[in-house]
Amino acid sequence: MHKLQQFKIDGVKCNACINDILYDLKQNKHINSVDMNSDLNELYISSEKQFTAVQIQSYIKSQYKVLTKTNRKNITLKKINKIKKLYPLILIITYIFLSSILINIDDLNLNNLMLDYMGIFFIVFSFFKFLDLKGFKNSFMCYDIIAKKVSLYGYIYPFIEITISSFLLFRYNVDLALVITIIILSFTTFGVINTLRNKINTKCACLGSTFNLPMTEATLIENFIMIIMSLIMVAQ
């Protein structure tokens, strides 16, 4: 039976710190799953092996201090309300959707609506990635197929999004932008499916490390919508 161990962590200042800690701990083969309560700075580790606070300290960077420990005999980690955590994502997508409608309110052409939605989507999502490029890269490489093998890809991905956004909004080389969208999102979607199927506890990097978003089916739906819209327009 997996044991749930709880540790209090000091020195955590933002979501980038949380991603940093989670990334380091996920490299340990003895840890089954790991999560962190960002409000209380409490770390939850599920594993068959008992860990001491000193051991956990050795796995993470020195600027984070492991303070206390509490043992619990549970198989699963604490469940934090997913809807509450996904609220920023839902709100941002709603704003993007409404903005694309307002831009095309005089002539609601479906193709223009989809192009503007995708263009605004990429430029907004890249903005949040640029706020903490290293934090995004560390989170992204936990599930994206290419980023896992090529670390540099995590750094250039937001620039790819900016380029695609510019092409779509200015209607320049639209077909090329759509094909690139299909390719990069297909690799990411495959990684998301693998993460969800194996019940790997990781963070969604779509909004960078600014928000502590859990990896859920919402990420999958978001990617599928973008891929389907791209396929429709390429086919036309």
pLDDT tens string 142-188: 889 999 889 899 999 999 999 999 999 999 999 999 999 999 999 99
Residue 209 has pLDDT above 80, yes or no: no
**For the chain, the helix, strand and coil percentages under 3-state DSSP, each to the nearest 5:** 60, 15, 30
HSE-up of residue 139 (Cα within 13 Å, Cβ side): 27
pTM (predicted TM-score): 0.68
Domain definitions of the chain by residue range: 3-72, 82-235
Q: What are phi and psi of 70, to 5 degrees?
A: -135, 130
Confidence (pLDDT) at 77 = 47
Q: What is the mean pLDDT of residues 42-53?
A: 84
What's the mean pLDDT when you consider all of the chain? Answer: 85
Which residues contact residue 96 at a Cβ distance below 8 angstroms, ignoring those fewer than 6 apart? 117, 120, 121, 124
CATH 1.10.3720.10 fits 3-72, yes or no: no
Report the distance separating Cα 114 and Cα 39, nearest Å.
37
d(CA 220, CA 214): 12
Return d(Cα 15, Cα 209) in angstroms, integer. Answer: 6
207's tokens: 């909004």
